[in-house]
């Protein structure tokens, strides 16, 4: 970040923090480097407990550490992974050799990042809707994370589709929070990954998903502009435009890809460097196929990459099940899923 002083109404304003746009752009392009994507290893304590419970592993800080160490130390994973989103617990943990996880990642050429929101909570006066919290003291927490080695950040909003949802109030509040988060991150020269997740749960159609996604993205970029967020210094983490899981008529990956791109072209600015997709509950195979079909399309102004959590980790977690003798096999499975998603970045899956 840069600092300067200025004179306003003949009164001297103390040092003002100004983002370093060149540094932000450099970090962005490192994250969306050709053939690579981002590993989302930022599961909250509650989320990772559910995943560990599914394979019979005790959810303890030490087991969390061992599991993430297994992922981060996978041989040659840097060939396909450009960055890793960490959780607050993880960014403060070390490898068996005593190396802090951010340093471990940076040493092999992977950029460490950090989830900074405090989770989606019930929104007062808006039944069935969520608002993501965590803006209080965010500036101070970001400074701490910079000192711990993080170079980018992530904030997730959750948007539910139902008959009368989402409401204008929910969209406005979450877009405002996402924009404030992004501005504060750029103030620290940290690349914000802005995640307005439109949930796939429900019985809505593909076109209803398109309608809500367009509305959400349009309001989001208005809010980002209002808060003077530098668009070339951020990334969007997006859901596919996707019918609800309970909708009886399924859409194939080609239809999902074409509809997603149509919506994005209507609302996303060309200067946005890239979109990294979340899997949103689709299987690892379907998630890779969606990304592949998107990258087969033409005239795309942004880099389209991945920021998968479960869709990258699930095979490895099931193979590992907390046992050291399974690490090598689990790492092979993790490497293979990362490799396949790398192919999908160029439509070669």
36 has catalytic annotation: no
3-class SS of residue 240: coil
Phi/psi at 278 (5° precision): -95, 160
Would you list the DSSP string of 278-325?
--TT--HHHHHHHHHHHHHSS---SEEEEEESHHHHHHHHHHHTT-GG
195 has catalytic annotation: yes
User: Which residue in the list 43, 129, 151, 195 is annotated as catalytic?
Assistant: 195
Of the CA atoms within 13 Å of residue 205, those in its CB half-sphere come to 3
Angle 247-52-67 from CA coordinates, rounded to 5°: 120
Give, as one character, the DSSP assignment of residue 326. G
CA distances to 13, 19, 45, 73, 349 from 7, in Å: 6, 19, 47, 51, 57
Cis peptide before 291 (omega within 30 of 0): no
Distance (Å, whole) CA 129 – CA 322: 36
Distance (Å, whole) CA 17 – CA 28: 20
Residues 6+ apart with CB under 8 A from 277: 237, 238, 239, 240, 287, 290, 291, 304, 305, 306, 307, 308
Distance (Å, whole) CA 98 – CA 171: 43
User: Which residue in the list 154, 237, 293, 303 is annotated as catalytic?
Assistant: 237
Angular region, 137: left φ>0, alpha ψ -120 to 50, beta rest: left
Q: Which residues are catalytic?
A: 195, 237
């Amino acid at each position: 970040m840069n600092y300067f002083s200025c004179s306003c109404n003949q009164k001297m304003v103390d040092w003002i923090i100004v983002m370093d746009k060149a540094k932000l752009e450099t970090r962005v392009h490192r994250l969306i480097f050709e053939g690579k994507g981002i590993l989302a290893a930022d599961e909250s304590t509650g989320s990772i407990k559910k995943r560990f419970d599914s394979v019979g592993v005790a959810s303890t800080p030490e087991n969390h550490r061992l599991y993430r160490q297994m992922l981060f130390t996978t041989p040659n994973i840097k060939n396909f992974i450009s960055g890793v989103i960490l959780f607050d617990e993880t960014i403060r943990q070390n490898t068996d050799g005593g190396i802090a996880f951010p340093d471990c990642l940076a040493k092999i050429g992977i950029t460490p990042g950090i989830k900074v929101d405090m989770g989606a909570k019930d929104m007062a006066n808006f039944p069935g809707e969520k608002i993501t919290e965590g803006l209080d003291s965010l500036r101070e927490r970001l400074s701490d994370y910079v000192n711990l080695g993080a170079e980018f950040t992530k904030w997730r909003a959750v948007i539910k589709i139902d008959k009368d949802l989402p409401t204008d109030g929910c969209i406005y509040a979450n877009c405002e929070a996402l924009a404030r988060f992004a501005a504060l991150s750029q103030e620290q020269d940290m690349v914000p990954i802005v995640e307005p997740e439109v949930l796939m749960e429900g019985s809505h159609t593909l076109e209803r998903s398109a309608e809500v996604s367009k509305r959400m993205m349009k309001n989001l970029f208005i809010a980002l502009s209002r808060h003077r967020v530098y668009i070339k210094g951020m990334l969007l983490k997006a859901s596919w435009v996707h019918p609800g899981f309970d909708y009886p008529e399924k859409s194939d990956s080609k239809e999902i890809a074409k509809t997603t791109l149509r919506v994005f072209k209507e609302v996303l600015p060309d200067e946005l460097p890239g979109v990294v997709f979340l899997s949103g509950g689709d299987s690892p195979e379907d998630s890779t196929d969606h990304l592949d079909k998107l990258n087969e399309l033409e005239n795309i102004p942004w880099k389209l990459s991945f920021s998968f959590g479960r869709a990258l980790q699930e095979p490895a977690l099931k193979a590992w099940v907390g046992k050291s003798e399974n690490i090598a096999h689990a790492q092979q499975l993790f490497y293979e899923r990362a490799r396949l998603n790398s192919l999908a970045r160029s439509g070669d899956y």
